[in-house]
Chain A
Amino acid sequence: MKDVIYTVESNEQLTENVYKMKLAGDTSAITAPGQFINIKIESLFLRRPISVFDCEDGAVTIIYKVVGTGTEKMAQMTKGQKLDCLTGLGNGFNTELSGNSPVVIGGGVGVPPMYYLAKKLREQNKNVTAILGFNKESEIFGEEDFKSLGVKTVVTTVDGSAGIKGFVTDGMKDIDYTYFYTCGPEPMLKAVYNASKTSGQFSFEERMGCGFGACMGCSCKTKYGNKRICKEGPVLVKEEIIW
């Protein structure tokens, strides 16, 4: 973990309520895909935890959905503004377990962390498939980003307005994979758990106090003992999850 003052480099609207923000500054504490940063927003007491969409030396990019006061304020931010962030939080995904043909499965704002993960898997020359689930066509983002990594990209929409009609699990039916990684709303994670044919890793969400393991606000029970979503999570392996 590292406290970094970032400078907003860009903050663009992707869909009706989803934004992409690039932050310039020290990224040395971000060591694995699936980690998150915790953003201090002026006049709000608690920080806002947001997953990392992409990370390079000197810049981190996040994609976030406007869901409340904090993210509303973020959507108003402009180039040059400074942001106090705790970076490199959480365990992140383990890419070593993926086998040769992993699938990454993201739903809604669970899509962003899958991009940095897919990028890392591609750097290891893995044959990656991405399944990106959305409610409808107008909510789709990131599809081209995944394709540009050389990732086979499947889109599903609940209303069938684009790609395969249905849920991410409908996208999983016709593909072969050696391992899976997923992030999204909990009902989706559970559906992926039930539909999956291999082992895999799940990234969970929980309301957090501190985001770095001090307050025990986001604890969960696992088969391997109590874990803090912000510290020993947000990524849990399939075998340890208790639904």
Chain B
Amino acid sequence: MVNTSVELSGITLSNPVIPASGTFGFGYEFAELYDINKLGTFSFKGTTKEPRFGNPTPRIAECTAGMINSVGLQNPGVEKVISEELPKLKKCFNKPVIANISGFSVDEYVYTCEKIDKEEQVGIIEVNISCPNVHGGGMSFGTSAKSAAEVTKAVKAVTTKPVYIKLSPNVTDITEIAKACEDAGADGISMINTLMGMRIDLKTKKPVVANKSGGFSGPAIFPVAVSMVYRTFEAVKIPIIGMGGVSTAENVIEMMLAGATAVQVGAANLADPYAGLKIVEALPEAMEKYGIKNLKDIIGGAH
């Protein structure tokens, strides 16, 4: 028997597999397909202070081994998330969930964090400072160490729950931003968000997505993510949730060897709604194949 459990800031997960924000809604729709309690946990749809429709369509473009999205943080706003979405989730999920929040000013991050902090079911708050699809917020906080630290400090002040900062790969040196977040009190790092990408339609000779650029994700970015997690593991002491193109149990092991304590699965859920479950179920066999008895023991093992 292998042991797949891991620990994030005092919260024990039965396995490290976590569907990523924006690819799993608020969970309950996937619960119609399988028992989502089999997952380590999941990170729910990025939530903001105000309701948002997001960007114009088309919002999706296909790429080799991946996709571009420019959804733009569509969500019903934190009040409705609390009054409508979380009660539905509670009926089908009995684990602490990761609340993914975003904002367009420090005050908005604080507002949303304060509200979501009071939700019993929320185990970890994941602060998205890296959405490439919104202007005047989102990624702009994640591309400077100073503003990343500012957001971290501000949200830490209004919650007692562990705060993980979700970082953008669209920076010169992601380890600097990670360090700034750690110094500002972050309990962990989630990385990486999508890479900026664009596809151009040869027939119309215009960008495929209406917002022109979007966030590139999927198996194609996996090596980029592994490299960034590997380097960040050497720069910070706080745990890292690794993500970017993860689509197999082997990818989970590789990401953990690079330094991730837990692993998120994003785009793979969209290509196959059972992806999260399949990875969880394949994990013990993959561990046995590579002689791993206790998954926790391999974190950062490649260093």
Contacts and interface: CB of A to CB of B under 8 A. Distances in A.
Contacts of B270: 46, 209-210, 214-215
B104 interface: no
A45 B54 contact: no
Given A45-B271, A214-B24, A207 B57 contact: yes
Contacts of B23: 210, 214-215
A70 to B, nearest CB: 8
A212 to B, nearest CB: 6
Interface stretch (A108-116, A139-147, A156-164, A219-227): A219-227
Interface string B47-84: 00000011001111111111101010010000000000
Contacts of A208: 60
Given A1-B33, A207-B58, 12 more contacts: A45-B66, A45-B67, A46-B67, A46-B270, A206-B57, A209-B69, A210-B273, A213-B25, A214-B25, A214-B29, A218-B60, A219-B53
A218 B53 CA distance: 11
B32 interface: yes
A178 B39 CA distance: 50
A217 interface: yes
Contact of A46 (B25, B45, B271, B273): B271
B218 A45 contact: yes
Given A47-B271, A214-B270, A209 B60 contact: yes
Instruction: Identify the interface centre among B45, B71, B273: most chain A CB within 10 Å of its CB.
Output: B273
A56 to B, nearest CB: 25
Interface string A1-39: 101000000000000000000000000000000000000
B273 A212 contact: yes
Contacts of A206: 57-58
Contacts of B24: 214
Contacts of B69: 209, 215, 217
Interface of A: 1, 3, 40, 44-47, 86, 206-210, 212-221, 226
Contacts of A214: 23-25, 29-30, 269-270, 273
Interface of B: 22-25, 29-30, 32-33, 45, 53-54, 57-67, 69, 71, 74, 208, 218-219, 267, 269-274
A218 B29 contact: no
Q: 7 smallest A-B Cβ distances: which pairs?
A: A210-B270, A207-B58, A217-B60, A216-B74, A209-B60, A207-B60, A216-B71
Contacts of B25: 213-214
Contacts of A207: 57-61, 208
A230 to B, nearest CB: 11
B62 A44 contact: yes
A220 B57 contact: yes
A208 B62 CA distance: 10
Given A214-B23, A219-B53, A45 B59 contact: no
B32 A1 contact: yes
13 contacts: A209-B67, A209-B69, A210-B23, A214-B269, A216-B45, A216-B54, A217-B57, A217-B60, A217-B71, A219-B53, A219-B54, A219-B59, A220-B57
B269 A210 contact: yes
Given A210-B273, A214-B24, A45 B58 contact: no
B301 to A, nearest CB: 30
Contact of A45 (B63, B208, B269): B63
A209 B71 CA distance: 10
A45 B57 CA distance: 20
Nearest to B76: A226
A206 B59 CA distance: 9
Contacts of A218: 57, 59-60
A46 B74 CA distance: 21
B60 A215 contact: yes
A76 B64 CA distance: 20
A45 B61 CA distance: 10
**Among B58, B60, B64, B218, residue most surrounded by chain A Cβ atoms (within 10 Å):** B60
A205 B219 CA distance: 27
A203 B63 CA distance: 27
B65 A3 contact: no
A217 B59 contact: yes
A207 B214 CA distance: 14
